[in-house]
Structure 1
Amino acid sequence: MTHAHQTISLGFTNQPFPPGVHICQIFCSNDERQASLLKFILSGLQSKERACCFSDNATEQAIGEFLGNYGISSNDVIDSGALTLAKTRDVYFKDNCFDPERMLSLLTTYYTDSVAQGYPAARVIGEMTPDIQHISGGNRLMEYESKITLLLRDHPVTAVCQYDSRSFDGAMIMDVLKVHPLMIVRGSVVHNPFCITPEEFLTQ
């Protein structure tokens, strides 16, 4: 799958990256969040990749209107399976519980299904909500994020994780930085100096 795309475009930066990078975006405004999300989805679809979005704030209408400006019918790509849209709470908090193993299995299946269906690459963007702090299993979020980095080594889904700096305290944001190798800073993707390898993080 990845041999066909040695590098991919993330949409919100001109920097090329290999498929399977794990990136966090700590955003400060809804416009910042929306711009990255829409461009990430668009660039994936334009490259014939499979794209998936988990967000409580990005509406199907807004995404459809944006894609329509570039000649892409949201109905067509959703119906074909090239684009999947779902609410954060419906995916991450199924049965009012956060289960890292279920989520990791979901990502693995998404990748293997994409390969089987002939997509050159697959990408996911997900926005975490502060509800995670009050959900059973929510205390395992950083374990999950760290294990994503491990999973992507063999199942290279390109993953962007969005966190609202206005909804999480400084300690939580620092933890987020520890488990993402790359981060978005002023529209550029940079190597994250705060990141700890999964092997080290998971033994702490």
Structure 2
Amino acid sequence: MVATTPVDRLTPGDHACLTFTDPEERLDILAAFVAAGQARNERIICFTDAPDADGLRAELLDRGLEAGGELTVAGSDRLWGSGTGPDAGTMVELLARELAQADRDGRAGLRITADMCWAARPQANAEQLLVFESEVGRLFAAGRLTAICQYDRESFDPVTLAYAARVHPRTVAATVYHEDPVLRICRQHVPPGVRVAGELDYARADVLSDALAEAVRLDHDVHLNLNHLRFIDAGAAAVILRTAAHLPESRRMIVVCPEPIERTLTVAGAAEVPTLRMLVRNGER
């Protein structure tokens, strides 16, 4: 089995696979991947089915990325040009041309992320995915192409997902601090911080404390994404407020959450912590 690589540790020439079930986690990983390409002055193309091109561009911009000329967001159908349906040979040729164009433009390389849901469309020949993943490998030899192929677990059967994992030299996923049937805590890349989903109580407060401690070490401002948190008790809320209160005056903890979570944090004393800022769905506190 190929070991999982954090997205921020991919290097030029890497060909990675991302299988996902959480759309927000997928978008966070893509944002980090695009940000790394912008920092390296690479040509970047994002091929997407869902969200569509405009939707994905908006999601990336919402995460603070720049809409520079090096970034192109396009529908997956652009991969096969004027053809009536997906064709592996056509797609590999297009990527080869884009790589050559990046060289002519003086870019450091080409960075591609592709939503592979095209392979699940009725008009896609079942063999096209196998051919594409096999043939595209030769483009990585020079170390100027970096790519993530995305596979939505709800769109592909287990055999296809296993094949995808096997043919990619690397797989990418979020760094997970804790996961059980009711709670998931993982690293958020853009903006940098921690994402928490599910139900959080005092029994798991130590895990949250450890995750926040790493974010305090790594990031200037700590972004805590609680958008998918359904419940938090007073003990876990106290961990958040205590971590924020211990930040220097020049730093902030930014908590994004729904209104029920905001109410619990407010009752716990959020207003008394000057280094804490809360952004609530449909409004700001």
Q: Smaller-chain TM-score range?
A: 0.7 to 0.9
Q: CA deviation at 1:101?
A: 1.1
SS in structure 2 opposite 1:91? helix
Which runs of structure 2 are paired with 1:1-204 in the superposition (5 Å)?
A: 13-15=7-9, 17=11, 19-58=12-51, 59-64=53-58, 66-67=60-61, 70=64, 72=66, 74=67, 77=68, 80=69, 82-92=70-80, 95-129=83-117, 132-154=120-142, 156-187=144-175
Note if contact 2:118-2:124 (Cα within 8 Å) is conserved in structure 1: no
Q: TM-score, normalised by structure 2?
A: 0.53
| Bigger Rg, which one | 2
CA distance 1:178–1:116, change in 2 (3 Å): same
CA distance in 1 between partners of 2:28 and 2:149 (Å): 14
SS in structure 2 opposite 1:51? strand
Larger strand share, 1 or 2:
2
Q: Which letter does structure 1 place at the counterpart of 2:61?
A: L
Q: TM-score, normalised by structure 1?
A: 0.72
Q: Comparing both chains, which one has the higher relative contact order based on Cα–Cα distances under 8 Å and sequence gaps of 6 or more?
A: 1
Q: CA deviation at 1:132?
A: 3.1
* Bigger shift: residues 45-54 or 137-146: 137-146
Q: Count residues with an aligned counterpart.
A: 170
CA distance in 1 between partners of 2:82 and 2:158 (Å): 27
CA distance in 1 between partners of 2:121 and 2:54 (Å): 26
Q: CA deviation at 1:41?
A: 1.3
Q: Kindly, what percent of the aligned residue pairs are identical?
A: 25
Deviation per residue, 1:76-100 (Å, 9 max, x gap): x2xx3x1111111342485332211
- 5+ residue gaps in structure 1? 1-11, 189-204
